[in-house]
Chain A
Amino acid sequence: GAGVSQSPSNKVTEKGKDVELRCDPISGHTALYWYRQSLGQGLEFLIYFQGNSAPDKSGLPSDRFSAERTGGSVSTLTIQRTQQEDSAVYLCASSADRSGYTFGSGTRLTVV
């Protein structure tokens, strides 16, 4: 597609439930990133995929968080046993070079 697509745009879930967030990067972009923005905070790096290399998971805040990228394209971020502190906007970005990333509109996750 023309841009980075994320779904759902909004998600409200009960504490303790699992959620899956989806990202469709720009076709041909080999790099894919997940960030999150909590209230009043900057963009926090979560995980990075580059081609077929092992992902850089150094930003994942706990083992409840995991991500996959299938076929070098679509990525899914999974949060297990959600907690209230997981409430944030989760942003996906893709890039073809180092000049800049293209971000999706994000998924606003609210854990109640």
Chain B
Amino acid sequence: DQQVKQNSPSLSVQEGRISILNCDYTNSMFDYFLWYKKYPAEGPTFLISISSIKDKNEDGRFTVFLNKSAKHLSLHIVPSQPGDSAVYFCAAKKGGADGLTFGKGTHLIIQP
């Protein structure tokens, strides 16, 4: 049973426009959420995170929104750049536990 779901396997966005990547979760015990970015043949790299006590966290072009009542979070990238083309993983963790639960990822393709 997938506790973290990324329902879009891929997303194509024009350069300069906004990219919105979505993530849903089912476990209400999750209280910390992270986004990772992965290029081919490399390990995932940490991008941005948000605690469940917040509903928004912003870092430059990247903003993560959390809607706890809907168990939904999204990553916004604006403006999108060619270097943003990668696979983006949503991840969640709960309470004092340290393991991360990952979604299957969304492949973002930025079109010139």
Contacts and interface: CB of A to CB of B under 8 A. Distances in A.
Q: Bin the interface of chain B by size.
A: 20 to 34
Interface stretch (A60-68, A70-78, A79-87, A99-107): A99-107
Contacts of A28: none
Given A43-B89, A100-B49, A105 B41 contact: yes
Contacts, number: 56
Contacts of A98: 32, 93, 98
B104 interface: yes
Interface string B76-112: 0000000000000101010000111111110000000
Contact of B105 (A4, A42, A101): A42
A1 to B, nearest CB: 14
A24 to B, nearest CB: 13
- Chain A CB within 10 Å, residue with most, of B2, B43, B45, B103: B43
Nearest to A42: B104
Contacts of B101: 45
Given A33-B98, A45-B101, A95-B98, 4 more contacts: A33-B99, A43-B91, A101-B100, A106-B43
Interface of A: 4, 31, 33, 35, 40-45, 48, 50, 56, 59, 91, 93, 95, 98-106
27 contacts: A33-B98, A33-B99, A33-B100, A35-B102, A40-B104, A41-B104, A43-B44, A43-B91, A43-B102, A44-B102, A45-B99, A45-B100, A45-B102, A48-B98, A50-B98, A98-B32, A98-B98, A100-B34, A100-B46, A100-B49, A101-B46, A101-B100, A102-B46, A103-B43, A103-B45, A104-B43, A105-B43
